[in-house]
Amino acid sequence: MTKVTMPRFRSKFEKRLALALERAGVSFGYETERIGYLKQHHYTPDFVLENGVMLEAKGRFLASDRAKHLLVKKQHPEMDIRFVFMRASNTLTKRSKTTYGDWCDKHGFLWCENSIPRSWFD
């Protein structure tokens, strides 16, 4: 007779519940499904130029900002969002070698440092 091995649980509480279900003779799966969902948010660009270009002024470029902009770009590919960084050579984290500018290049965002190029609003 083979013994079913218990999965690795994320907490002692989950393990306790699984053992209770097992003792009660209940069949169950643990983290066997993945369900996507969307959370409704609003993006407010810092500046919107007459030509429709949206400018985002950034001193710090947090992980939450980066995630937000990837979602906005994915859901609204028609929007032209560009970044104006105080210092584009800052790295994403202390341990990262990726700069703010590198991140924009990788994800298809135009960016500049300190001042807005005239070509962006001419």
46-94 pLDDT per residue, tens:
999 999 999 999 999 999 999 999 999 999 999 999 999 999 999 999 9
pTM of the shown model: 0.72
* Residue 104 within a domain: yes
* Residue 17 within a domain: no
* Residue 30 within a domain: no
**Is 2's pLDDT higher than 60?**
no
pLDDT at 4: 58
CATH code, 60? 3.40.91.30
Three-class SS of residue 73? helix
Starting at the earlier edge strand, list the strands of the sheet with 81-85.
47-48, 54-58, 81-85, 110-113
E strands present in the chain: 47-48, 54-58, 81-85, 110-113
Which domain does 81 fall in, by range?
47-120
* Residue 83 within a domain: yes
pLDDT at 3: 54
* Residue 94 within a domain: yes
pLDDT at 36: 82
* Residue 24 within a domain: no
Burial of 54 (0-12, 13-18, 19+ CB in 10 A): middle
Q: If we measure between CA atoms, which residue out of 30, 32, 54 comes closest to residue 116?
A: 54
User: For the chain, what is the domain count?
Assistant: 1
The structure tokens listed for 31 are 């983290």
